[in-house]
Amino acid sequence: MFDNLQDQLQEVFDDLRGKGRLTEGDISAAMRRVRMALLEADVSFKVVKPFIARASERCMQAEILESLTPAQNVVKVVLDELTVLLGESDAKLELAQDKHPNVIMLVGLQGSGKTTAAAKLAYLLKREGHNPLLVACDVYRPAAADQLATLGGEIGVRVHRGDADEKDPVKIAKDGIRVAVDNLCDVAIIDTAGRLHVDEEMMAEAESIKAAVDPDEVLMVVDAMTGQDVVNVVETFSARVDFDGVIMSKMDGDARGGGALSIREATGKPIKFISSGEKPDSLEVFHPDRMARRILGMGDMVSLIESAVKVQQEEEEREASERLRRMDLNLNDFLDMNRQVRKMGGVGKLVSALPGGDKMMAQGQVDEHALDKMEVIINSMTLAEREKPDLINGSRRARIAAGAGVSVTAVNQLMKQYSETRKQVKKMMAQFGGMDEAGGRKGRPRKGGKKGKKGKKTRRGGMPGMGGMSMADLKKIQSMLGE
């Protein structure tokens, strides 16, 4: 998503960087190219026109023209305006603490991904400590209720679907609220039916369900691949159902992405979540500023760090943590680190979050199966070899290669990567305050630890697989990135 737009904007900015000063003509020409890039990305003309007007006006200001780095100022203006276009601030899900259940109603066209989005939202809420219930109110699409029941079973969430012969979606929704109360579910997520196109019957049904269950949040699920036509659909739903926000699905598609850039400006409705995969954990809170950075090829380091923090909070293997703090990294730890990367979304997601990462992915420069290959090779080693990699000589490498079904060169490459990672761990830990002889941070006590040479205690803690960095270290990085 946004790959072509990103490439075109990068070309505009690259051309500007070659100029020592920018004239009004330079800025006007650049803004024309930005406008064409947005229109080609299928952003609504109603949205593009005021966007370019605002950006041009800011770029024409005296301090911009007299800047020593005029191209950087233009990039900043476009970044700021993209952020405004996408919503400026995060639009959070509003759930009442004193109400059981909170009711969330999903609406949208058929094929937009409502049922999958309902399950993903339930999974997200469950991970946050809620007890959600899924309510299947699509009585028209064949096997819609079966699909929701299957998804609910996979994530361990109860599903209410009504009796086999029940065809009244309003009754199913009302019964679902009662089931939520009886089972102490604090959130009920109602999956409604859609149509291929907006029609009166669908709108009337959505209105009836809304009136019957009085939802706390109405979210419209929008296919990101729809393009600017989605603006008309969203405006119609907004007028009839008055939803509160949007879930943008299929963000991993290869469409131009103009719909995502058009919704907030055209309708005033915020994007609350985005989904970019099939897995239950692929629903993410939408951050306008981070998306704007990614569109401009700046990456999304903040989300990457948040993923790392989440992995750290779930990490329970303290033995690996101790070895990392001592900088005694073995191949078992290396394998654990690779598995943690997989938990964070895999190599593809990791690289995409880095500046220029999306382009590398598009050009096929990243092997998304690299972690799988590493794991196969390491699993071909003996326990002793994993714990003491220095044992692995030439003959052992040949045996490992044969067992893994790879070449000796592949084993050598893995060992080189392991060696480089071990060096990076030491470097990262040194950058974050230095290490004492026991592996703790210099000058900081650790509770219950042994005293060092100067009578100070060393600190316990740190993040397995992230160079022994602590939560404070990660927060320090986040603050450096403006969060």
Residues 388 and 259 reside in one and the same domain = no
Category of 373 on φ-ψ map: left (φ > 0), alpha (ψ -120 to 50) or beta: alpha
- The answer to whether residues 236 and 107 belong to one domain is yes
Q: Are residues 115 and 25 in the same domain?
A: no
Has residue 203 been placed in a domain? yes
| pTM, entire model | 0.61
In a domain, 448, yes or no: yes
Q: Identify whether 97 is part of a domain.
A: no
Residues 174 and 209 occupy one common structural domain: yes
In a domain, 188, yes or no: yes
Beta-strand relationship, 217-223 and 102-107:
parallel
Query: What confidence score (pLDDT) does residue 126 get?
Result: 93
Query: Count of CB atoms within 10 A of residue 206's CB?
Result: 24
Tell whether 177 and 196 lie within a shared domain.
yes
CATH code of residue 348: 1.10.260.30
Q: What is the pLDDT along the chain (483 residues), one digit of tens a residue?
A: 567 788 888 888 888 877 777 788 888 999 999 999 888 888 888 889 999 999 988 888 756 555 446 777 788 888 888 888 888 777 788 887 777 899 999 998 888 889 999 999 999 999 988 999 999 999 888 788 999 999 999 999 999 998 877 889 999 999 999 999 999 999 999 999 887 777 788 888 999 999 999 999 999 998 887 766 777 788 888 888 888 999 988 887 655 667 777 888 777 888 899 888 788 888 988 888 888 887 877 755 555 555 655 555 555 455 555 555 555 677 877 777 777 666 666 555 555 555 555 665 566 555 566 677 888 899 899 989 988 888 999 999 999 999 999 999 999 988 888 888 777 766 666 655 444 434 444 444 444 444 444 444 443 344 444 444 454 554 444 444 444
pLDDT confidence of residue 446: 42
Residue 207 phi, psi (nearest 5)? -65, -40
Q: Are 276 and 311 within one domain?
A: no
Looking at the 3D structure of the chain, how many domains does it have?
A: 3
150-185 pLDDT per residue, tens: 999 999 999 999 887 788 999 999 999 999 999 999
Which pLDDT score, from 0 to 100, does residue 469 have? Answer: 47
Count of beta carbons in the 10 Å neighbourhood of residue 226: 23
Closest by alpha carbon to 344, among 318, 378, 309? 309
Residue 359 falls inside a structural domain = yes
Q: Are residues 127 and 144 in the same domain?
A: yes
Domain end position, chosen among 36, 57, 86: 86
Structural domain includes residue 257 = yes
pLDDT tens track for 303-319: 555 565 555 555 545 55
Of 278, 298, 318, the residue at which a domain comes to its end is: 298
For residues 186 and 182, give the distance between their C-alpha atoms in angstroms, rounded to a whole number: 11
Do 191 and 276 lie in a common domain? yes
Is 92 part of a structural domain of the chain? no
* Predicted local confidence at residue 443, as pLDDT: 43
Instruction: State how far the alpha carbon of 419 is from the alpha carbons of 49, 390, 431, in Å.
Output: 53, 11, 19
Contacts of 473 (CB under 8 A, 6+ apart): 432, 433, 463
pLDDT for res 174? 95
353: Cβ contacts below 8 Å, ≥ 6 apart: 299, 300, 301, 303, 304
Question: Do 59 and 125 have their domain in common?
Answer: no
Look at residues 55, 7, 61, 10 and name the one whose alpha carbon lies nearest to residue 32: 55
pLDDT number for residue 210 = 93
Residues 333 and 209 in one domain: no
pLDDT score, position 436: 44
Q: What is the CATH number of the domain that holds 255?
A: 3.40.50.300
pLDDT for the residue numbered 217: 93
Query: What was the pLDDT predicted at 197?
Result: 76
Q: Name the residue range of residue 36's domain.
A: 3-86
At which residue do the structure tokens 């904007």 appear? 9
Structure tokens at 331: 């191949």
The pLDDT score that the predictor gives to residue 200 is 83
Are residues 263 and 339 located together in one domain of the fold? no
The answer to whether the bond into 101 is cis (omega within 30° of 0) is yes
Query: Residue 7 sits in a domain of what CATH number?
Result: 1.20.120.140
CA distances for 263 relative to 222, 242, 474, angstroms: 10, 14, 34
* Statement to judge: residues 134 and 260 lie in one domain: yes
Three-class SS of residue 330?
coil
In this predicted structure, what is the pLDDT of residue 276?
A: 80
**Tell me, what amino acid is at 177?**
I
Of residues 344, 352, 220, the one with CA closest to residue 291: 352
The domain boundary, picked from 269, 298, 327, lies at 298
Residue given tokens 């692995």 in the structure block = 392
Report how far residue 211's alpha carbon sits from residue 411's, in angstroms, rounded to the nearest whole number: 64
Confidence (pLDDT) at 325: 57
CA dihedral (255, 261, 43, 360) in degrees, to 10, reads: -40
**Is residue 95 one of the residues assigned to a domain?**
no
